[in-house]
Amino acid sequence: MSKPRLWITRKLSQNTEIRAQRDYDVVLNPDDTLSTADDIVRMSAEVDAILPCHSEHFDAATVERLDPRVKIIANHSVGVDHCDLDALKKQGICVTNTPDVLSDATAEIAMLLLLGAARRAAEGDSMVRSGRWNTWSPSFMVGTQVTGKRLGIVGMGRVGQVMARRARGFDMQVHYYNRTQLPEALEQGAIFHSSLESLLPVSDFLSLHCPATEQTKGLINSDALMQLPDGAILVNTARGALVDEAALIRAIDSGKLAAAGLDCFVTEPGGNPEFATHENIVMLPHIGSATLETRDAMGFRALDNLDAFFSGGVPTDKLV
Ligand code: DGY
């Protein structure tokens, strides 16, 4: 029997590509170029499956033009806001994602940003690096202590739960807002809030770990930021769309927020040039899951889903 033909849209880990080539007739992208909607539509007529990343957009207009040959979109990401799931379901295309395997890596980056924002890491690094470090005194570069503070987690899914565990290592008191309260064994002492309004005033640090959906877009707007304690710090490793970026700038400029740590932006790649003028905003280019171990695990998870699909089973991470 001939192998299913698979298009892997971006350059993935070597181990992933080797395994994919063993089991599929693979079209790779060694130059790691970005595909347009037209590329996606063209390729859909040439393959049975696509393994994309969040950089490829399957919006309703693109999905409508997909060739019926393509049967499954096996995402190399946990977030699927780049996919119009309703449109894909309507076309009878199976969609999967890669949950679980990136929780540790993403929580590491959230912790890095939390600590970096609190202790002025971007400002300090830039000062030393540029040769501008010419003084020291007890009043120099004073930041916000993390130990013992209250951490509010929005979205207590897999990444949120790992973040809570890491925060406990800093003796933080963990509060969370989630659609449903977790069982006690998973809560591990974290305090449940049934609304965002209840969580915000107790969040010295607020870390976002929920997906971007129609309901959560712009969740952290001016109103929400104003409900945080004065001098709070916002961390976003989930999706840029969760935050009203203009409102965030205003909250930083007014001193309402002491700092922010961001791995995600409304515009990616690129980010928000206005943020770059603020040294108290620590920024990374969407690298929450970018570790060797996690890239292999994400690739393998996507391939596991494809294997299940093409052997007639139901992929573990089937969304539609
Ligand atoms: C994810 O998996 O959603 C990460 O943001 C990387 O795409």
Integer Cα distance of 249 and 125 in angstroms? 22
Q: Quick one: tokens of 13? A: 């880990």
Domain identity same for 276 and 136: yes
Decide if 121 contacts 177 (C-beta within 8 A). no
**H helices, E strands: number in the chain:** 12, 12
Q: Does any ligand 1 atom lie closer than 6 A to the CB of residue 297?
A: no
Give per-residue pLDDT as tens, 216-253. 999 999 999 999 999 999 999 999 999 999 999 999 99
Domain identity same for 73 and 178: no
Q: Does any ligand 1 atom lie closer than 6 A to the CB of residue 294?
A: no
Pick from 249, 284, 244: nearest CA to 117? 284
Whole-number Å distance, alpha carbon 131 to ligand 1 midpoint, is: 36
Q: Is the peptide bond before 269 cis (omega within 30 degrees of 0)?
A: yes
| Domains identified in the chain, total number | 2
Q: Look at residue 187 and tell me whether its pLDDT is greater than 80.
A: yes
Q: What is the pLDDT of residue 111?
A: 98
Domain identity same for 132 and 251: yes
Task: Give pTM, 2 decimals.
Answer: 0.97
User: How confident is residue 173, by pLDDT bands cut at 50, 70 and 90?
Assistant: very high
Domain identity same for 141 and 277: yes
Integer Cα distance of 213 and 80 in angstroms? 9
Domain identity same for 275 and 146: yes
Give per-residue pLDDT as tens, 53-66. 999 999 999 999 99
Q: Does any ligand 1 atom lie closer than 6 A to the CB of residue 103?
A: no
Domain identity same for 88 and 124: no
- Domain assignment present for residue 315? The answer is no
Q: What is the pLDDT of residue 212?
A: 97
- Domain assignment present for residue 109? The answer is yes
Domain identity same for 198 and 254: yes
Domain identity same for 249 and 126: yes
- Domain assignment present for residue 116? The answer is yes
* Residue 228: CATH number of its domain: 3.40.50.720
Average pLDDT, the chain: 98
- Domain assignment present for residue 318? The answer is no
Which DSSP string corresponds to 42-94? HHHTT-SEEE--TTS-B-HHHHHT--TT--EEE-SSS--TTB-HHHHHHTT-E
Counting residues of the chain whose pLDDT is more than 90, the rounded percentage is: 100
What does residue 283 show for φ and ψ, rounded to 5 degrees?
-130, 145
Q: Does any ligand 1 atom lie closer than 6 A to the CB of residue 241?
A: no
Domain identity same for 274 and 135: yes
Pick from 58, 47, 53: nearest CA to 78? 53
Pairing of strands 281-283, 257-262: parallel
Domain identity same for 138 and 233: yes
Integer Cα distance of 4 and 69 in angstroms? 11
- Domain assignment present for residue 154? The answer is yes
Whose tokens are 């104003």? That residue is 226
Pick from 305, 316, 313: nearest CA to 51? 305
Domain identity same for 79 and 132: no
Integer Cα distance of 141 and 130 in angstroms? 16
Q: Does any ligand 1 atom lie closer than 6 A to the CB of residue 79?
A: yes
Q: What is the pLDDT of residue 1?
A: 76
Integer Cα distance of 101 and 89 in angstroms? 25
Q: Which residue of 34, 54, 76, 103 sits with most ligand 1 atoms within 8 Å of its CB, as the best mutation to test the pocket? A: 54
- Domain assignment present for residue 198? The answer is yes
- Domain assignment present for residue 267? The answer is yes
Q: Does any ligand 1 atom lie closer than 6 A to the CB of residue 102?
A: yes
Whole-number Å distance, alpha carbon 273 to ligand 1 midpoint, is: 22
Domain identity same for 68 and 174: no
Rounded average pLDDT over 65-93: 98
DSSP 8-state class, residue 130:
T
Query: What atom in ligand 1 is closest to the CA of residue 55?
Result: 7
Count of Cβ atoms closer than 10 Å to residue 52 Cβ: 22
Whole-number Å distance, alpha carbon 143 to ligand 1 midpoint, is: 30
Q: Does any ligand 1 atom lie closer than 6 A to the CB of residue 106?
A: no
Counting residues of the chain whose pLDDT is more than 70, the rounded percentage is: 100
Count of Cβ atoms closer than 10 Å to residue 195 Cβ: 8
Whole-number Å distance, alpha carbon 79 to ligand 1 midpoint, is: 5
Whole-number Å distance, alpha carbon 181 to ligand 1 midpoint, is: 25
Q: Which residues contact 37 (CB under 8 A, 6 or more apart)?
A: 57, 59, 61, 62, 65
Q: What is the pLDDT of residue 290?
A: 98
Catalytic residues: 239, 268, 286
Integer Cα distance of 15 and 211 in angstroms? 28
Q: Which residues contact 193 (CB under 8 A, 6 or more apart)?
A: 152, 175, 176, 177, 199, 202
Enclosing domain of residue 67? 5-101+292-310
Decide if 217 contacts 245 (C-beta within 8 A). no
- Domain assignment present for residue 256? The answer is yes
Decide if 122 contacts 174 (C-beta within 8 A). no
